[in-house]
Structure 1
């Protein structure tokens, strides 16, 4: 576990320094270590969660290197691992939804809108459930609104304008109901940014 934490730390440093090959190499080593551990401890939720996160980071490396098929493969494996866990933990929900959204993004850029919508919708479902469980978690409400915006954008591009507008309006309602205190300045900035984007989307015909 200590070796794994060290490898991830080194990989993140390499990634920030744009040394993507080095980052990918370290993350691959970490993923193999965790897989070995899981052979004797299949029910270890922490290990499964860590593997899901590391696979997502490997997807980021491949995406940065322009290798979309490998990126999608890693993101899908990450989502598969994480979706089998009891998704009540907010950090887990966030990691899972990020992997699903990144697959959706790559499918979107490839022009496969139906597939993109499928992944965005899965992410949206996880956020809806998370908000039901943790209605006071402001970050989850903002993530929910962002997911609604992604689905609405695809709907608009598919020609489903009324469905898209409905999704945007739901997202705006979520954010306008969200009241944040002065100690949540960064979240408030994010809320206003997403809200501004959504109002602009509503204005576009």
Structure 2
């Protein structure tokens, strides 16, 4: 991860590849444990990020899909796992979106939204989950708009705004409040730009 942050992507990719091989070997030995699947899902997601950083969208999608495969085997009750799973789904959606495959992008965004909605039902008191749902709604709405379904897009933008406006945060959650306000402003701009 240090190599990736330092923009030494090839070094990061090589090290992450070795890490993935090691975890796969341990999975073959002891089976699909939660810890190993979680680790492999995270490493595969980082490999996807490396590929995306160098413009290799095809390999990035492959790694993100593998990440989704392993993370989907785990308990949906674990917030970290559901967050990583939803992020991988969104990243695939983003790559499909930029490639012009809007229906596929929308499908991945919807899957991410569903994972996040399930998580919020299990963990109502976690405000970051509410923010994640609003972001997913915005992604689906953008995809809806891009395929010409303006009514569905507008409904999703309104739903996301309603969720964020009803979210109350504690004073110690100032970072989340900044993010909430930023996402809220973005959502409102999406509605006013296309009136």
**TM bucket by the smaller chain?**
over 0.9
Could you tell me which runs of 5 or more consecutive residues in structure 1 were left unpaired when the two chains were aligned.
Answer: 1-11
In the TM superposition, residue 44 of structure 1 has moved relative to its aligned partner by 1.1
- Counterpart-to-counterpart distance in 2, 1:60 and 1:100: 13
Alignment of 1:52-91 (within 5 A): 52-91=41-80
2:108 pairs, out of 109, 112, 119, with 119
**Matched-pair contact (CA < 8 Å) for 2:37–2:73:** no
* 2:6 equivalent to 1:23: no
SS of residue in 2 equivalent to 1:136: coil
> CA offsets per residue over residues 53-111 of structure 1, 9 Å max, x none?
00000000000011000000000000011012111111111100111000000000010
2:67–2:88 CA contact under 8 A, matched in 1: yes
Counterpart in the other structure of 1:46: 35
TM-score, normalised by the number of residues in structure 2: 0.98
Q: C-alpha distance in 2, partners of 1:121/1:70?
A: 22
Per the TM alignment, residue 43 of structure 1 is displaced from its structure 2 partner at its CA by: 3.2
Query: RMSD in angstroms over aligned alpha carbons?
Result: 0.6
- Counterpart Cα distance in 1 of 2:83 and 2:10: 26
Q: CA deviation at 1:16?
A: 1.0
Segments of structure 2 that go 5 or more residues without pairing to the other structure are: none
Q: In structure 2, what is the Cα distance between the partners aligned to 1:89 and 1:102? A: 20
The aligned residue for residue 3 of structure 1 is none
Q: Number of aligned pairs? A: 194
Q: List per-residue Cα deviations over 1:103-153 (Å, max 9, x = no partner).
A: 000000010000000000000000000111111110000000000000000
| Pick aligned residue for 2:123 from 105, 115, 134 | 134
Matched, 1:202 2:188: no
Instruction: Report runs of 4+ in structure 1 exceeding 6 Å deviation.
Output: none
Deviation (angstroms), 1:31? 0.2
